[in-house]
């Protein structure tokens, strides 16, 4: 690192803080401006913010580790979430925007009634806003520590100080600028981070040691370039990445709809729901989420994958726990003066965009759904904005403390997927089935924590553990649903009048509201979902085939993607012409 590198990093911080100061006055107006940008975000800003938030400091490292261990196909561990993401686009984005709420947790008392609803709202605000949120920020902190240690060779004590200082800066500009500042900063940070990772991939792949794409293909076994895992009767099939059929089905058939995971919540949720609710209207909400799915799964992974493949050539002796460090070593060893500072700034950008969103999202839950709802109702907006800023700082401190105890990022991922296993179906059906009540959701949240110790005792490993957790949780919440009282009819009528999701499972309520125009066209929604999935994977695999020189296959994939775009556009246009809010 030379003076020019440090000046580039300094310039990045100056620009980020300038954006925060610019939006600080606007964020101070009220909590809707602070947490939802006044519900006036255009789709491209909302979508870019979603993509930037999921581009954390740990993401390129995690992809590098997956590729180094299992080849390109190892990414199916997270690629499977595209199925659920596209479901959110076509079924839930408009509903979230239509609900007119501030947070996902506020939905609880819009949809359910009585003491169970009040308890669930308070519980989820603390469970998601504090417990889950600080775990997520904790593993992002750990990843940033790895980057700084790998780049600068400093001790863990020193690096923790730097991460704390960086996070304090993020907390400061998040507390100062609210969601408008976070979103605009996200857009700047994403362009910087994505552009820099592309530059790194080009330099590393074309280095003498690697020898370009042709060199990669010659120096690595062919199986690492497979886009799909080998299905085997055992969990390992020699050199190729192999999954048992049960494990593969757990990923593509269960995980994406059954487990809660940040950024991929079944039915939408978290900061994704926050961006959908912040959009100008239902149309902007849908297109923001669609843009996010295409960019997140279909385009963005390839620079990381190429660097991950290159590390197999450049650092073949890295142990299993050190493979993710290969990405950092390529930055250290191959970037010239200036570009090295740019890449470090890019990682700060990735880190800060993720942390800023998590802080704003988490504090919105604690403020709106616990503090304002139960502790200090009826105060002024100025008071709540001030409390929001204090909560942002407190969440930052808590996440720093938690990061000390996180030893494995992948272990933290699996813990969240397992503790959220089975709740996904409730989160989906609560929009479309009147009989779901607060007790359904409460039991679905609690059951995995009761079952998980037995999973650990019998040493049932992830993802096979999902079969047991999802089955048990589903049985429990269904039984609880039918033995407890349904939501008060007045609440159901109020919810349906506002959101009007439509469908036969609401017939008992919709028949009592003949003046309400319910959503229809579920067949086209499923068609759009199917072709949305085709679109994302076509762009993903088509881009990969172009990179590796298989142009005929790439043409087939891209043709499928274009056809999918035409069909989706046609269906959405017909819905729009039918006087929908779209």
Which whole-number Å values give the CA distances from 508 to 175, 201, 499, in the listed order? 45, 56, 16
Gap between the Cα atoms of 423 and 257, Å rounded:
9
Q: In residues, how long is the chain?
A: 582
Tens digit of pLDDT for each residue in 95-121? 999 998 988 899 999 999 999 999 999
pLDDT of 409 above 90: no
Sign of the dihedral through C-alpha 15, 16, 19, 20 = negative
- Write down the H helix ranges in 206-324: 212-219, 245-249, 256-258, 270-278, 282-293, 301-314
Q: How does DSSP classify residue 367?
A: I
Average pLDDT over residues 340-355: 83
Q: Which has the minimum average pLDDT: 30-44, 415-429, 530-544? A: 30-44
Looking at every residue in the chain, the average pLDDT score rounds to 88
pLDDT of 195 above 60: yes
Q: Which has the minimum average pLDDT: 82-86, 186-190, 202-206? A: 186-190
Q: Going by DSSP bridges, is the β-strand pair 242-244/230-232 parallel, antiparallel, or unpaired?
A: parallel
Gap between the Cα atoms of 437 and 243, Å rounded:
38
Tens digit of pLDDT for each residue in 288-327? 999 999 999 988 899 999 999 999 999 999 887 678 889 9
Q: What is the pLDDT of residue 348?
A: 82
Q: Mark 202-212 as b/e (b = at least 16 C-beta within 10 Å).
A: ebbbebeebbe
Average pLDDT over residues 235-249: 69
* Other CB atoms within 10 A of residue 535 CB: 26
Q: What is the pLDDT of residue 579?
A: 43
Rounded to two decimals, the pTM is: 0.87
Q: What is the pLDDT of residue 580?
A: 44
Q: Which has the minimum average pLDDT: 32-41, 104-113, 401-410? A: 401-410
**Three-class secondary structure of residue 64 per DSSP:** helix
pLDDT of 79 above 90: yes
Gap between the Cα atoms of 281 and 303, Å rounded:
33
Tens digit of pLDDT for each residue in 271-284? 888 889 898 898 99
- The model's confidence at residue 237, banded by pLDDT at 50, 70 and 90, is very low
> Which position has the token pair 């469908």?
503
- The model's confidence at residue 431, banded by pLDDT at 50, 70 and 90, is very high
pLDDT of 412 above 80: no
pLDDT of 233 above 70: no
Q: Dihedral, CA atoms, 51, 56, 59, 60, nearest 10 degrees?
A: 100
Gap between the Cα atoms of 48 and 186, Å rounded:
7
Tens digit of pLDDT for each residue in 128-150? 999 888 888 887 888 788 778 87
Q: Which has the minimum average pLDDT: 8-17, 225-234, 544-553? A: 225-234
């Amino acid at each position: 690192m030379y003076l020019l590198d440090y000046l580039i990093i300094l310039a990045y911080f100056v620009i980020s803080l300038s954006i925060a100061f610019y939006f600080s006055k606007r964020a101070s107006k009220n909590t809707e401006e602070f947490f939802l940008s006044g519900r006036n975000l255009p789709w491209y800003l909302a979508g870019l913010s979603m993509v930037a938030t999921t581009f954390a400091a740990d993401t390129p490292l995690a992809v590098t580790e997956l590729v180094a261990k299992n080849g390109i196909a190892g990414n199916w561990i997270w690629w499977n979430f595209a199925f659920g993401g596209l479901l959110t686009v076509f079924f839930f984005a408009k509903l979230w925007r239509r609900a007119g709420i501030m947070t996902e947790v506020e939905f609880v008392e819009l949809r359910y009634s009585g003491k169970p609803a009040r308890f669930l709202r308070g519980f989820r605000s603390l469970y998601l806003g504090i417990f889950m949120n600080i775990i997520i920020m904790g593993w992002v902190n750990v990843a940033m520590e790895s980057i700084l240690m790998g780049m600068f060779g400093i001790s863990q004590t020193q690096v923790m100080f730097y991460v704390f200082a960086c996070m304090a800066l993020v907390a400061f500009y998040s507390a100062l600028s609210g969601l408008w500042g976070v979103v605009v900063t996200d857009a700047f940070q994403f362009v910087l981070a994505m552009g820099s990772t592309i530059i790194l991939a080009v330099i590393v792949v074309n280095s003498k040691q690697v020898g370009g794409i042709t060199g990669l293909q010659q120096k690595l076994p062919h199986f690492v370039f497979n886009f799909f895992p080998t299905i085997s009767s055992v969990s390992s099939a020699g050199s190729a990445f192999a999954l048992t059929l049960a494990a593969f089905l757990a990923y593509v058939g269960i995980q994406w709809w059954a487990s809660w995971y940040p950024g991929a919540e079944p039915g939408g949720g978290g900061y994704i729901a926050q961006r959908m609710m912040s959009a100008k209207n239902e149309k902007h909400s849908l297109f923001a989420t669609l843009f996010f799915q295409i960019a997140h799964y279909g385009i963005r992974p390839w620079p990381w994958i190429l660097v991950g493949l290159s590390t197999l050539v450049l650092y073949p002796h890295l142990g299993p726990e050190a493979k993710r460090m290969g990405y950092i070593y390529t930055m250290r060893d191959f970037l010239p003066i200036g570009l090295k500072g740019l890449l470090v700034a890019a990682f700060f950008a990735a880190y800060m965009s993720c942390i800023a969103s998590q802080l704003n999202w988490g504090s919105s839950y604690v403020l709106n759904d616990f503090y304002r709802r139960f502790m200090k109702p009826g105060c002024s907006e100025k008071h709540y904005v001030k409390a929001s800023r204090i909560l942002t700082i407190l969440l930052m401190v808590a996440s720093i403390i938690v990061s000390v105890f996180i030893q494995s990022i992948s272990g933290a991922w699996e813990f969240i997927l397992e503790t959220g296993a089975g709740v996904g179906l409730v989160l989906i059906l609560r929009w479309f089935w009147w009989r779901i009540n607060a007790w359904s959701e409460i039991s679905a949240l609690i059951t995995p924590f009761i079952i998980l110790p037995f999973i650990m005792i019998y040493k049932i490993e992830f993802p096979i553990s999902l079969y047991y957790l999802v089955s048990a949780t589903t049985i429990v919440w269904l039984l609880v649903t039918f033995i407890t009282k349904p939501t008060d009819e007045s609440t159901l009528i109020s919810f349906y009048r506002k959101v009007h999701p439509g469908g036969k499972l609401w017939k008992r309520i919709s028949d009592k509201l003949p003046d309400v125009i319910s959503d229809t066209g579920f067949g086209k929604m499923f068609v759009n979902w199917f072709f949305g999935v085709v679109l994302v994977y076509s762009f993903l695999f088509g881009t990969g085939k172009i990179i590796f020189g298989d142009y005929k296959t790439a043409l087939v994939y891209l043709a499928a993607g274009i056809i999918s775009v035409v069909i989706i556009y046609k269906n959405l246009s017909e819905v729009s012409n039918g006087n929908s809010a779209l």
